[in-house]
Amino acid sequence: MSDALVILGAAGLVIPIFARFKITPIIGFILIGIAVGPYGLGTLVYEVPWLSYVTISDPERLTPFADFGIILLLFAIGLELSFNRLWQLRRLVFGLGAMELLIIGSSLAIVLSMMGQYWTGALALGFALAFSSTAIVLPIAGTSTPVGRAALSMLLFEDIMIVPIVFILGAMGPAAANEGWEGMVEVLWQGGLVIAALLILGRFALPRLFAQAARTKSPELFLAASLLVVIGASLATAATGLSPIVGALIAGLLIAETEYHGEVESIMEPFKGLALGIFLITVGMSIDLTTIWRNLGSVVFAVVGVLVFKALVTGVLLRMMGARRSTAAETGVLMASPSETTLIVLAAAGSAMLIQPGTAQFWQIVTAIGLTITPVLAKLGRVVARRIEPLPELPEGDQTQPRTIIIGIGRVGRLIGKMLDAHDQPYVAIDSDADLIAKANRDGYRAVFGDAARGDALSRLGIERAPAVVLTMDEPVLAQRIVSKLRKEYPELLIVARARDTEHAALLYRSGASHAVPETLESSLQLSEAVLVDIGVAMGPVIASIHAKRDEFREKLEREGELDHRPKLRTSGKENPA
């Protein structure tokens, strides 16, 4: 109970205090861990007994909860993605991700071997330090920006490689014969079968499960169903020897393909945040300040050396893969610190007797310090990126007038911008792809860099005064999430969204879109118009029938979206065309 008191008290203090000073609570949780851990106030418990109520003497008791926090984080990341987006990232995952891990791991191993570490231990340490923190990096970077996509690709490959690396280290130990290699092969084929079963079963079972939960209108049952799915999938992959976070990610991806992902995401958010806070507190508890002070020179040299080397290699690889200089620099600095996975690999190397206990403790301290300063590295990376390649900003005068906001300045966003210009309607486009922003500004469009799904990016563009928001991105899950968020925050806002098909359009209507335009429907209507006119039917009746058919489909989609009434829209004194 005292451990629970410490954790809940830490959450109650850290989050509001650090939010007030606009500092990420990640650092706060780690500092709390240092203070209440066995190397902080825990050293005074025997002299001051009442401190036992505000300290945690056995960090191992928190490990299951910390692991659960990482599982929920990967589950939430899966909810933000889709199989389509994941497929689009395959080149980065198995190209960039593989090169980053192999080059950094082998290079660090060579350096450590030259410094006197035996080659098996150097290899274990090199690949351990090559990992970057999924738990801290992705909440900072997101998954929809170029930096977030690059980081996600590398982190996904690292998560895939955890099991092979741990098994290889076990096989390299003096006590292992061929059991490690045979065990790895067994885990991989069994894990593959379990993943295939999860994908097939999830496609058919999850929509029915959540539909039943939704019909009860019970938040408790919805929460229970969500926890059942994520824990069940994690246990299934863990039972074969794979990492449980693989199962959590698959569960998130499967739910993201259903219309219930928004509700699941909101209901799981508090649990994810608290469990992640527990993980960060355990990181802080592993930092022994007296050991750091005694070995200050060596620790500082190791931390700086690892950070600089990883940042340089990652940045260079991204440039070779075609990323912009700013994206490469920011991602390299953000991904520079070691990971929570580093601690797992270090423990495996120690168990296999590849490294000495003292060596493992030293690099655990280096890892903990790296995790602590990751938010600082993120800010440093943004500063470096903006110095290398400043992003275009709108003049102050443009930001004060009401204007339509276009989310996405690709092919569809550009056409909408041209049409608004043709009718003298002010607009501004926002996109998280710096390449698209630079090209759009060169071509005369009014576009700024930003991630519409995160932070106050839309508020800075004056969404409170905007007559309309138009979503043009070809990312169904992200579009639905943004529509739902906008409708909750701005009930009277006109929201027009591009839909992939009629099913996606119905989901967008259900999320709060004023109008959802399916690409497949519009292309069919345009084809019909072209063929009717070309075979000799009069233009007037053709256009009238096309409009009638469009209205018919729209009413049908609104019914499928379960719209009982349409929201009253802001019109600024004029009627918005239907």
CATH number at residue 210: 1.20.1530.20
Residue 12 buriedness (CB in 10 A; 0-12 / 13-18 / 19+) = exposed
Instruction: List pLDDT tens digits, range 293-346.
Output: 888 899 999 999 999 999 999 999 988 888 888 888 989 999 998 887 787 788
Q: Do 363 and 215 lie in a common domain? A: yes
At residue 310, the pLDDT reads 93
At residue 45, the pLDDT reads 66
Query: Is 576 inside a domain boundary?
Result: no
How far is 85 from 68, CA to CA, in rounded Å?
25
Residue 562 has pLDDT above 60, yes or no: no
Residue 178 has pLDDT above 60, yes or no: no
- Bridge partners of 490, per DSSP, are none
Q: Do 351 and 497 lie in a common domain? A: no
Instruction: List pLDDT tens digits, range 16-52.
Output: 776 666 666 777 777 788 887 777 776 776 677 777 6
Residue identified by tokens 């399916």 is 518
At residue 107, the pLDDT reads 92
Query: Is 568 inside a domain boundary?
Result: no
Q: Do 93 and 165 lie in a common domain? A: yes
Query: Is 577 inside a domain boundary?
Result: no
Query: Which residues form the domain of 374?
Result: 58-388
Q: Do 405 and 380 lie in a common domain? A: no
**CATH number of the domain to which 411 belongs:** 3.40.50.720
Q: Do 245 and 344 lie in a common domain? A: yes
Which pTM value belongs to this model? Answer: 0.63
At residue 566, the pLDDT reads 46
Q: Do 320 and 424 lie in a common domain? A: no
Q: Do 458 and 504 lie in a common domain? A: yes
Q: What is the mean pLDDT of the chain?
A: 78
How remote is the C-alpha of 536 from its chain's centroid? 54
Closest CA to 126 of 345, 372, 362: 345
Boundary-marking domain end, from 343, 361, 388: 388
Boundary-marking domain end, from 388, 408, 431: 388
Q: Do 182 and 271 lie in a common domain? A: yes
How many domains does the chain contain in total?
Answer: 3
Q: Do 225 and 339 lie in a common domain? A: yes
Q: Do 513 and 378 lie in a common domain? A: no
Q: Do 101 and 196 lie in a common domain? A: yes
Query: Is 566 inside a domain boundary?
Result: no
Instruction: List pLDDT tens digits, range 439-464.
Output: 888 888 888 877 787 656 788 788 88
The CA–CA distances, whole Å, from 90 to 68, 97, 220, 257, 565 equal: 27, 10, 37, 19, 42
For residues 546-553, average pLDDT: 75
Query: Is 578 inside a domain boundary?
Result: no
Boundary-marking domain end, from 342, 359, 388: 388
For residues 232-252, average pLDDT: 82
At residue 303, the pLDDT reads 92
Q: How confident is the model at residue 250 (pLDDT cuts 50, 70, 90)?
A: confident
Query: Is 573 inside a domain boundary?
Result: no
Q: Do 188 and 207 lie in a common domain? A: yes
Phi-psi sector, 181: left (phi>0), alpha (psi -120 to 50), beta: alpha
Residue 166 has pLDDT above 80, yes or no: no
Q: What angle do CA 174, 175, 177 make, to 5 degrees?
A: 95
| pLDDT greater at residue 345 or residue 520 | 345
Residue 38 buriedness (CB in 10 A; 0-12 / 13-18 / 19+) = middle
The helix (H) or strand (E) run that includes residue 430 is: strand 427-431
The end-to-end CA distance of the chain, in Å, is 59
How far is 213 from 216, CA to CA, in rounded Å?
6
φ/ψ of residue 322, rounded to 5: 100, 5
Query: Is 575 inside a domain boundary?
Result: no
